[in-house]
Chain A
Amino acid sequence: MTMKLAELVELLDAEIVVGHEKRDLSFEFCTASDLMSDILRGPTSGSILITGLNNTQVIRASVIANVAAIVLVRKKRPNEDLVERAKEHEIPLIRTPFTMFTACGKLFEVGLRGIDELL
């Protein structure tokens, strides 16, 4: 199934920090990790990254891997540099109050799948 960013935002009670103009962006797969190597090794191109990593490098690694958007879990407030870099590279950055497990569960429940299906 495919989902639009706007639908994900609603489902995850989330706030768009960067990327309001990309609400119509659609995607099919998600990946969840706090490890850079998971972002850089899997078929993460075009997928949504759900992560607890709150540092500038998560933006750079995501740009390198062509990740479509980043969802920051557990109410984390992204630091200023991270927000600036997300704007610079036009990659949507979203905050959800849910933990990683719950955020993943909610997306899985409505039919989204992991990048495992692409392996």
Chain B
Amino acid sequence: MPLLERRFTIKANDFVKAGEVSIEVQGILKKIGFDPTLVRRVSICAYEAEMNVVMHGGDGEMMLHVEPEEIDLVCSDQGGGIEDIELALLPGYSTARPEHQEMGFGAGMGLPNIKKNASSLDVYSRKGEGTRLIMKFEVGDEH
């Protein structure tokens, strides 16, 4: 039985709202009373994934699934997808546009940062078919 399950929608290119989903996720996990370091790790991954949907993906959603021993985030979108996932996971690789760089994004460290902070990361994507990230966090793992 999950403690909690929530679904949030994310809109492509909406920089006014971008990040709000992740801040809501952060609030929910804080309120449940998870360790602050774990909450920070999950929130950072949520934000990196959410911003990727907004900047590179299309309209999408974030699912939060909470159990006493595990937190799962599934972030998916119906955008253009990723042609070469291995390349996208390399530190520094980015196709961010100048307007994203002006805002401080586009260092190409988002997916590597998710990999660093999550207990596990799976990326499913195909060019033209959208992207799905499955991020798992084991409560109490060493990170």
B20 touches A (CB below 8 Å): yes
With A41-B113, A56-B16, A89-B23 given, is the CB distance from A64 to B107 under 8 Å? no
The size bracket of the interface on A is: 20 to 34
Question: In the bound complex, how far is the Cα of B44 from the Cα of A38, in angstroms?
Answer: 12
Q: How many A-B residue pairs have CB under 8 A?
A: 67
With A34-B104, A35-B104 given, is the CB distance from A64 to B26 under 8 Å? yes
Q: Which residues in A have their C-beta under 8 angstroms from that of B113?
A: 37, 40-41
Which one, B20, B26, B51, B109, contacts A41 given CB within 8 A?
B109
With A37-B107, A41-B109, A55-B103 given, is the CB distance from A61 to B40 under 8 Å? no
Q: How far is the CB of B116 from chain A (nearest CB, A)?
A: 8
Contact assessment for B109 and A64 in the assembled complex, using a CB-CB cutoff below 8 Å: no
Q: How far is the CB of B49 from chain A (nearest CB, A)?
A: 12
B131 touches A (CB below 8 Å): no
Q: Which residues in B have their C-beta under 8 angstroms from that of A53?
A: 103-104
Contact assessment for A61 and B110 in the assembled complex, using a CB-CB cutoff below 8 Å: no
Contact assessment for A37 and B103 in the assembled complex, using a CB-CB cutoff below 8 Å: no
Q: Which residues in A have their C-beta under 8 angstroms from that of B116?
A: 41
With A41-B109, A57-B19 given, is the CB distance from A64 to B104 under 8 Å? no
Q: Which residues in B have their C-beta under 8 angstroms from that of A57?
A: 15, 18-19, 51, 103-105
B137 touches A (CB below 8 Å): no
A→B interface (CB under 8 Å): 34-38, 40-41, 45, 51, 53, 55-58, 60-61, 63-66, 81, 89
